[in-house]
Amino acid sequence: MRKGTKIVISIIVALLVIVGGFYIYASHAAAGHIPGHVYEYTSVSGNQKAYMTFAQSGDEVIVTPDKNKALQASNSTADFEKVYKAQAKEGKWNYKADGSKLTISKTQNKQVSLWQYNNVLVLGKKMHSSSFTYQIANAGQGLDKKATNFEQIK
């Protein structure tokens, strides 16, 4: 093999290792990036927004269409607890980030609804999911293959 060919192959291998390493990191970074932050979620249809404030520790999350309420909850643990308890009358929200999956659940009247975002990639202040599955109490279940995005706003 010629010296030039060896160099090209070495460069290709190095690039594959770098890109592969970045992908593995980005696809398993959600658990470390979301605690204590507020994310804006845009619906797959693009016409609705929700705001998610993740607890600094634990598995609680506040899900609200009110951006100000989401931002207020992120100011301190006491503010988070105040907003979470007020919202709990309409159901308790929890989350689990595991590998490349983010699951958000709502428990209301002893019934659980789940949204699992698949193939989550963290890229700076953005999270991207290629699809999500859902199981909504008394409303059915399914898979939506549309991509969804979350953007960290605080």
C-alpha distances (whole Å) from 132 to each of 15, 76, 106, 145 are 30, 31, 16, 7
Mean pLDDT of 20-28: 81
- pTM for the model stands at 0.85
User: What mean pLDDT value characterizes the chain?
Assistant: 90
Strand partners, 127: 122, 150
Query: Mind listing the pLDDT tens digit for each residue in 61-113?
Result: 999 999 999 999 999 999 999 999 999 888 999 999 998 999 999 999 999 99
Q: What is the pLDDT of residue 68?
A: 94
Query: Mind listing the pLDDT tens digit for each residue in 5-20?
Result: 888 888 888 888 888 8
Considering its fold, how many domains does the chain have in total?
1
Reply yes or no on whether the pLDDT at 55 is more than 90: yes
Reply yes or no on whether the pLDDT at 139 is more than 90: no
Residue span of the structural domain in which 60 resides: 3-152
Burial (Cβ within 10 Å: 0-12, 13-18, ≥19) of residue 102:
buried
Which pLDDT band holds residue 46 (cuts at 50, 70, 90)? confident
Mean pLDDT of 23-41: 88
